[in-house]
C-alpha cells in the first residue's frame, strides 16, 4: 500500500515508518525542512528505504500543500504535532500548529476519495489535560475511552492543544459521510529507544530528566515531591498500535488508549538507572479496547526502561 506519515521522522513516527517499510509498503514522510538531510538520515538507513521511502515537503499550516502530499496515498498517519514543554508563544508554537494543522488535514482527507484510513496520533492529554496527574476528583480511579475527557485551560498548552485537536476530530467524525475510516490513538507517556541520534527530542529529554531527577520547572518538582504515578508505554508498542489501527477495517470513529503500566516517578527513576522498582505497577489508563480490537499486548516497563537510550 501507499502510506503517508506526517511526522514520520519523529520519535514515534520513525518507528511507524520502520514498521511499514518492514511490511513492504511504500512510505511517504512529511518534512518541514527537507534540505536538513541530517534530520532524516536515520530513515534512509532503514531496510527498504532506498526503494520505497520518499521525503516530501509539507507544512500543515499551508493547506494548499496537503493535496500534493496526499495524492495517490491510501493510508494516512498524523503524528506531526509539536511536542515541547518549554515555549515562548503558546499559540504560535503549540496551539495553532496542532489544532489548525489537524483541521487542515481533515479537510484535505474529506476531499480525497483515495484515502481509506486515517489514524490521528492524539495523546492521553486528549482524555486528561492534567496528565501525568490523575483527573481531578477521580484520583486513584481507572480511566477509559468511555469516560468524559477532562479539560482545563490552566493545564500545559501542549495538553490543551492535544485535547482541542481531538475535539476537532470527533466533530469531523460526526458529520463526515465519506469512505475513509478515521481512528484516533492516545498513548500515555511514551518511552523507549529512539531510531535517531538527534538530541533535540522532547521524549528523550523527558527520560533524561526522570533518570537524573532533574526539575526544570516547578511542575516537575511537584511531580517529584508528590511521587506521582506516571503512566508509560513502549514507543515500539505505540508504533505497533498505530500500524494496527491503520490496517484494521471497521474502526471508524474509535478512540484507543495505548498504555502499559503506571509507576510512581521514584520507581521510573530506578528503572531508568537499571534498577528494579521498589513497588509494583498500577493501572490508571485502561488499554483493554486496544488489546481486544488492535491485538495489542504491552511490554512491561522493566523491559523498555533501564538502558542507555541516548547520548543525553
- Residue 5: pLDDT band (50, 70, 90) is very high
DSSP state letters, 53-114:
EEEEE--TT-GGGHHHHHTT-SEEEE--S---S--S-HIIIIIHHHHHHHHHHHHHHHT-TT
- pLDDT of residue 312 exceeding 50, the answer is no
Angle, CA of 185, 186 and 189, to the nearest 5°: 140
Which pLDDT score is estimated for 255? 97
Residue 94 burial (CB count, 10 A): 22
β-pairing verdict for 181-187 and 53-57:
unpaired
Domain ranges across the chain: 2-191+233-259+284-296
- pLDDT of residue 40 exceeding 90, the answer is yes
Mean pLDDT of the chain: 94
- Would you give the DSSP letter of residue 157? H
- Residue 199: pLDDT band (50, 70, 90) is low
Among 3.40.50.720, 2.40.160.20, 1.10.275.10, 3.30.920.30, what is the CATH number of 2-191+233-259+284-296? Answer: 3.40.50.720
- Residue 307: pLDDT band (50, 70, 90) is low
Which pLDDT score is estimated for 198? 76
The pLDDT tens digits of the residues spanning 170-181 come to: 999 999 999 999
Q: What is the mean pLDDT of residues 24-52?
A: 94
The pLDDT tens digits of the residues spanning 84-120 come to: 888 899 999 999 999 999 999 999 999 999 999 999 9
β-pairing verdict for 75-78 and 2-6:
parallel
Strand partners, 56: 30
- pLDDT of residue 217 exceeding 90, the answer is no
| Position with higher pLDDT, 230 vs 205 | 230
Instruction: Please tell me the distance from the alpha carbon of residue 47 to that of residue 66, in angstroms, as a whole number.
Output: 27
Lowest mean pLDDT among 27-36, 66-75, 183-192: 27-36
Instruction: Please tell me the distance from the alpha carbon of residue 63 to that of residue 107, in angstroms, as a whole number.
Output: 9
Classify burial at 296, counting beta carbons within 10 Å of its beta carbon; exposed 0-12, middle 13-18, buried 19 or more.
Answer: buried
The pLDDT tens digits of the residues spanning 124-136 come to: 999 999 999 999 9
Instruction: Please tell me the distance from the alpha carbon of residue 122 to that of residue 296, in angstroms, as a whole number.
Output: 17
- pLDDT of residue 34 exceeding 50, the answer is yes
Classify burial at 216, counting beta carbons within 10 Å of its beta carbon; exposed 0-12, middle 13-18, buried 19 or more.
Answer: exposed
Amino acid at each position: 500500500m501507499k502510506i503517508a506519515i506526517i511526522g514520520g521522522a519523529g520519535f514515534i513516527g520513525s518507528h511507524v515508518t520502520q514498521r511499514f517499510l518492514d511490511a513492504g509498503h511504500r512510505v511517504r514522510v512529511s518534512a518541514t525542512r527537507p534540505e536538513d538531510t541530517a534530520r532524516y538520515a536515520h530513515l534512509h538507513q532503514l531496510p527498504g528505504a532506498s526503494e520505497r521511502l520518499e521525503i516530501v515537503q509539507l507544512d500543515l499550516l499551508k493547506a494548499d500543500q496537503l493535496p500534493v502530499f496526499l495524492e495517490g496515498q491510501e493510508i494516512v498517519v498524523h503524528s506531526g504535532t509539536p511536542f515541547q514543554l518549554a515555549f515562548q508563544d503558546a499559540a504560535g508554537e503549540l496551539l495553532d500548529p496542532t489544532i489548525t494543522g489537524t483541521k487542515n488535514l481533515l479537510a484535505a482527507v474529506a476531499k480525497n476519495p483515495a484515502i481509506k484510513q486515517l489514524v490521528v496520533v492524539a495523546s492521553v492529554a486528549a482524555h486528561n489535560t492534567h496528565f501525568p496527574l490523575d483527573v481531578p476528583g477521580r484520583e486513584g480511579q481507572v480511566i477509559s475511552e468511555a469516560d468524559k475527557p477532562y479539560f482545563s485551560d490552566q493545564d500545559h498548552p501542549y495538553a490543551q492543544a492535544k485535547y482541542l485537536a481531538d475535539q476537532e476530530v470527533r466533530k469531523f467524525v460526526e458529520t463526515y459521510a465519506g469512505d475513509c475510516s478515521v481512528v484516533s490513538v492516545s498513548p500515555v507517556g511514551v518511552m523507549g529507544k529512539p531510531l535517531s541520534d538527534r538530541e533535540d527530542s522532547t521524549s528523550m529529554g523527558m527520560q533524561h530528566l526522570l533518570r537524573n531527577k532533574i526539575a526544570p520547572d516547578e511542575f516537575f518538582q511537584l511531580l517529584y515531591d508528590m511521587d506521582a504515578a506516571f503512566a508509560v508505554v513502549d514507543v515500539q508498542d505505540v508504533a505497533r498500535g498505530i500500524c494496527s489501527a491503520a490496517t484494521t477495517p471497521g474502526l471508524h470513529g474509535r478512540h484507543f488508549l495505548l498504555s502499559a503500566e503506571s509507576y510512581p516517578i521514584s520507581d521510573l527513576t530506578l528503572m531508568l538507572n537499571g534498577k528494579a522498582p521498589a513497588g509494583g505497577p498500577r493501572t490508571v489508563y485502561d488499554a483493554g479496547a486496544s488489546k481486544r480490537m488492535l491485538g495489542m499486548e504491552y511490554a512491561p516497563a522493566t523491559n523498555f526502561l533501564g538502558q542507555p537510550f541516548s547520548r543525553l
